Amino acid sequence: MQIHNLKRIHKNKKDRIVGRGGKHAKTSGRGGKGQTARAGNKRRPELRDIIKKLPKNRGYRFHSIEIKPVGISLDKIAEVYPKGGAINPTILNELKVVKKKKGWLPEVKILNGKLDFNIKIQVSKCLVSDSAKEKIIKAGGEVIIETKEKPAPKEVKVPTKKEVKPARNATHSDAGGKKVK
């Protein structure tokens, strides 16, 4: 054996030089060419811009933007409407007790007042507190509570096995995958 016939047990292995050609080191882990290959490549995610355009509503489940009813005491009603009669949001708007909000009549809640109430009124389309309801009924008035009824669900006819026709060229597991006529 001569010196030029000697072979190493472990082959020569070069250290990987990043970013200077070769197999793995070609793009230095930066992918292809262009903007992504350059230094300072920091692009904003597109979804972030979409999210930032959405309005920010504060509060848990947006309670802070919930439209709350306008409270009116029985004292105010007695002052503005001394003769009594029917009361609803449109009448209160005409008497300038309630103002429209963005062109809409707000929901009205009638609250208990500090003074005695002895006027006969018929309240409709308004929320009424329990103590105010007692005072109105005691004075000889009435509170009409309108409940929103849900429409009855439509009856769905379920076909029986005899009414159902098998599809054309249908296969059944009973027939072992063969076509049944």
Beta-sheet strand order (sheet of 85-87):
85-87, 121-124, 142-144
Q: How wide is the angle at C-alpha 162 spanned by C-alphas 156 and 167, nearest 5°? A: 90
Q: Is the pTM of this model over 0.85?
A: no
Residue 57 domain flag: no
Is 41 a member of any domain? no
Q: Which domain holds residue 79?
A: 65-144
In a domain, 14, yes or no: no
For the cut 80, the answer to whether the pLDDT of residue 18 exceeds it is no
On whether the CB atoms of residues 97 and 72 are closer than 8 A, the answer is yes
Integer CA distances (angstroms), 80 to 46, 76, 117, in order: 58, 6, 13
d(CA 34, CA 120): 82
Residue holding tokens 């809409």? 104
Q: How do residues 115-132 score in pLDDT, each as one tens digit?
A: 888 899 999 999 999 999
In percent, how much of the chain has pLDDT > 90?
Answer: 31
- Pair 72, 108: CB distance under 8 Å: yes
Is residue 76 included in any domain, yes or no? yes
The pLDDT, as a whole number, for residue 110 is 94
pLDDT of residue 32: 78
Query: Which burial class, exposed, middle or buried, applies to 121 when counting CB atoms under 10 A from its CB (0-12, 13-18, 19+)?
Result: buried
Convert the pLDDT of each residue in 60-90 to its tens digit: 666 655 678 999 999 999 999 888 889 999 9
173 domain residue, yes or no? no
CATH number for the domain including 107?
3.100.10.10
Report the chain's mean pLDDT, rounded to a whole number. 80
Instruction: State how many domains the chain has.
Output: 1
Asked, for residue 52, whether it belongs to a domain, the answer is no
The reply to whether 77 falls in a domain is: yes
Residue 140 belongs to some domain of the structure: yes
